[in-house]
Chains A and B, each alone.
Chain A
Amino acid sequence: MAPVKVFGSAAFTNVARVLVCLEEVGADYEIVDIDFHVKEHKGPEHLARNPFGQVPAFQDGDLMLFQSRAISRYVLSKYKTDEVNLLREGEGDPEESALVDVWLDVEALQYDPAMSSVFFQHRVVPALGGTPDESFIGESVEKLKNVLDVYEARLTKHRYLAGDFVSLADLSHFPEAHYFMELPYAAVFDSYPRVRAWLEDLFARPAVKKVVSLMANDFSG
């Protein structure tokens, strides 16, 4: 079977999300870099893979997918085993897969916007020659704290977000968290001990460590 292909550099959080799923299930995969400097992402070849001209795109035989969480679901579903069932699909408790869906959407729609806004203003805007909007950063940090209040309470009751089992919902958080910890605002997490412990647990996973090393190699590019 030909390895599946992931299009886009590991440095991108949305690409890293897919890579950690592939690592968790032990699938054979190949990363194909897309050169943003020459606008390869907006060229016809890549647009045929991802019509929004974004990364990641994903290919398995003649199946072409985009949107990182959709790709992640496919990977975890295709390669799932009794031991590695990160969507909680199959014969088990259907309530578990519903809770995975809830917390994956919380990650996508509550956590990610707050985290990525701060990173974008603090790191990306100056790199593009602009000045960070400090008041927008302040608002984003406040939103993040409101979200983390809920996470702290949740993780006080359960070891992981969807229950006492790790799932895609947890793993989906690590790419933004990885970059956020390099910012001065990382101190926000000091007030949330259960969240900190949960993140440290995620970062200790072999699959996450592997992807973090891929992200570090690519980030300088």
Chain B
Amino acid sequence: MNYINAHFVANTDSHNSLIKMAPMKLYGWAVSPWMARVLVCLEEAGAEYELVPMSRSGGDHRQPEHLARNPFGEIPVLEDGDLTLYQSRAIARHILRKYKPELLRSDNLQESAMVDVWVDVDAHQLEPIIRPVVFNVIIKPFTGSDCDQDLVDGSIEKLKKTLEVYEARLSSSKYLAGDFVSLADLTHFSFMRYFMATQYAEVVEAYPHVKAWWEALLARPSVKKVMAGMPPDFGFGSGNIP
């Protein structure tokens, strides 16, 4: 276990009570899929945290106070004691390593490798395809820009090929890294949440094992709780612009 050292009991529920810790702080806007990726992990871990809301339209992330936390001027940012972290999947790993290492399979080299593979598949194969669709189809109409339909159409074609890989994987494995839920599954939720709110949801639903896996994710209490803070229009429609 990565977080065990001589001072603490092995990883059990009593672990947390032995350590007086200030709650972690997570800075950002809850509708952000990068933010939501971390929120799901905080909820799964049952960790104590404080959400520090920031305003995107107000440019909070570009202010010196925030740049001191994250010189890239992005959210989310996690403060855990005197440790400040950014990059959503790095934050997620830290939270799970500390509070719920079974979601990383830290004690099993081969299983943790499979978790790492599929976390990177999300980062490098899937998110780059669905992010521009979400941006063009949901956000651009609210910000007065034209949807780049050629880009969307091209992305959907790439998505189908990528989903074939997911379908094959989920046909032989209950979850992405194996027959256990892990960060590999959880990391996918936040961008998919918005993609599945578009008219292109049916593209995903055409793959039965992917559809079942998605529905299993939606049924998790952590996911339901975080989703409640993620209106499908990012809040633009109700005037709660992030």
Which residues in chain A, 25-48, are within 8 Å of chain B measured between CB atoms?
none
Within 8 A of A (CB), among B87-109: 87, 89-90, 93-94, 97-98, 109
B124 touching A67 by the CB < 8 A rule?
Answer: yes
Number of contacting residues on A, CB 8 A?
33
- Indicate the size class of the contact surface on chain B: 20 to 34
Contact indicator per residue, chain A 120-138, by CB within 8 Å of chain B (1) or not (0): 0000000000000000000
Q: Is the CB of B123 within 8 A of A150?
A: no
Do A150 and B87 touch (CB < 8 A)?
no
Q: Check if B116 sits within 8 Å of A109, measured CB to CB.
A: no
Complex interface bits, B129-145 against A, C-beta within 8 A gives 1, otherwise 0: 00000000000000000
A189-215 interface bits toward B, Cβ cutoff 8 Å, 1 = contact, 0 = none: 000000000000000000000000000
Stretch from B2-10, B209-217, B230-238 forming part of the interface with A: B2-10
Partner of B121, one of A67, A99, A106: A67
Are B90's CB and A101's CB within 8 A?
A: yes
Whether B87 pairs with A63 at a CB distance below 8 angstroms is: no
> Beyond A74-B116, A109-B123, is A102–B5 a contact (Cβ under 8 Å)?
no
Known: A52-B165, A67-B124, A98-B85. A150 touches B109 (CB 8 A): no
CB distance from B172 to the nearest CB of A (A): 11
Chain B residues near A71 (CB, 8 Å)? 113
Are B71 and A153 touching (Cβ within 8 A)? yes
Q: A91 near B117 (CB under 8 angstroms)?
A: no
> Which residue on chain B has the smallest CB distance to residue A90?
B2
> In the complex, which residue of chain A has the Cβ closest to the Cβ of B117?
A70
The residues of B that contact A147 with a CB separation of less than 8 Å are 72
- Taking a contact as CB atoms under 8 Å apart, the answer to whether A106 and B71 are in contact is no
Residues of the A chain whose Cβ atoms lie less than 8 Å from the Cβ of B85:
98-99, 102
Give the top 4 A-B pairs by smallest Cβ distance, nearest first.
A105-B87, A70-B116, A101-B90, A67-B120
Interface residues of B (CB under 8 A from A): 2-6, 71-72, 83, 85-87, 89-90, 93-94, 97-98, 109-110, 112-114, 116-117, 119-121, 123-125, 162, 165, 168-169
| Residues of chain A having any CB pair with chain B under 8 Å | 51-52, 63, 65-67, 69-71, 73-74, 77-78, 89-91, 94-95, 97-99, 101-102, 104-106, 108-110, 147, 150, 153-154
Can you give 18 A-B contacts (C-beta < 8 A)? A52-B162, A63-B113, A66-B117, A67-B116, A67-B117, A70-B116, A70-B117, A70-B119, A73-B113, A78-B109, A94-B3, A97-B97, A98-B97, A99-B85, A101-B94, A102-B87, A108-B123, A147-B72
